[in-house]
Chain A
Amino acid sequence: ETGVTQTPRHLVMGMTNKKSLKCEQHLGHNAMYWYKQSAKKPLELMFVYNFKEQTENNSVPSRFSPECPNSSHLFLHLHTLQPEDSALYLCASSRLHGGGVRSYNEQFFGPGTRLTVL
């Protein structure tokens, strides 16, 4: 148990559905991340939220819409997905320090949501 929870753990949806993935961290961290992990591909960073502000959007299609209402919660809203979007979606959080040589930035991951798009 890393202190990062994700729901649901498994999701099957049709291409016309709208669903949301939820991530919650109980670690007092101030940054949260969404990653996509497809079979036989490296981890792909999708979005980064730093103190609730989005600081990274890695050319992610608009059918993925993140929301970060506070530093403990992160959502990924899904709509009109494609079968190739089927993957493991991982949420992570970290504590960001103010920069400088000794900043710590290891990320702690949730268990992931296994998404299947039919």
Chain B
Amino acid sequence: AQKVTQAQTEISVVEKEDVTLDCVYETRDTTYYLFWYKQPPSGELVFLIRRNSFDEQNEISGRYSWNFQKSTSSFNFTITASQVVDSAVYFCALSNRDDKIIFGKGTRLHILP
């Protein structure tokens, strides 16, 4: 069975602090894909990143970085120097098929000015 766990339901940090959102996944497949999505108050889910199971290289995009560790089945997301506009719900997701993605329950992130 596949499962995505985002243990942090809600996080609040003060602007400019760094924050890490945790994601732990379960799958028996050797080939799978991991994703992060952002859902701002407007409601639309915004795709942030896709990572393939055969590529453990970490990725950095501006203030965002992702740490993929197969040994611990984790795909954590760090925002450096957080800004108020980063306030949103963030979803981690897993897929091993082309047409089905399993989403975690999300982490609501509050960036306080």
The interface of chain A, by Cβ under 8 A from chain B, is 2, 31, 33, 41-43, 45, 48, 50, 55-56, 88, 90, 92, 94, 96-97, 99, 101-112, 114
Segment touching A, from B69-77, B79-87, B96-104: B96-104
Q: 1/0 per residue B9-38: CB within 8 Å of A?
A: 000000000000000000000010101010
A-B contacts besides A45-B101, A106-B35, A109-B37, 10 pairs, CB < 8 Å: A31-B99, A43-B103, A48-B100, A50-B98, A88-B43, A90-B43, A94-B99, A101-B52, A103-B98, A105-B101
Q: Which chain B positions have C-beta within 8 A of A50? A: 98-99
Interface residue range, chain B: 20 to 34
In the complex, what's the smallest C-beta–C-beta distance from B91 to chain A, in angstroms?
7
Return the contact of A111 from the options B31, B43, B101, B106 (Cβ within 8 A): B43
User: Roughly how many angstroms separate A102 CA and B105 CA in the complex, as a whole number?
Assistant: 27
A88 neighbours in B (Cβ, 8 Å): 43
Q: Which residues of B contact A103 (CB under 8 A)?
A: 98
Determine which residue in A55, A97, A109 has the highest number of CB atoms from chain B within 10 A of its CB, and name it.
A109
For B31, the chain A residues whose CB sits under 8 A away are 101
Q: Could you say which of B37, B99, B104 has the most chain A C-beta atoms within 10 Å of its C-beta?
A: B99
Nearest-Cβ distance from residue B94 to partner chain A, whole angstroms? 11
Residues in B with CB closer than 8 Å to A111 are 42-44
Residues A105 and B105 in contact, CB atoms below 8 Å apart: no
Whole-angstrom distance between the Cβ of B21 and the nearest chain A Cβ: 15
Set of chain A residues within 8 Å of B42, measured between Cβ atoms:
111
Q: Please determine whether B44 and A110 come into contact, CB atoms closer than 8 angstroms.
A: yes
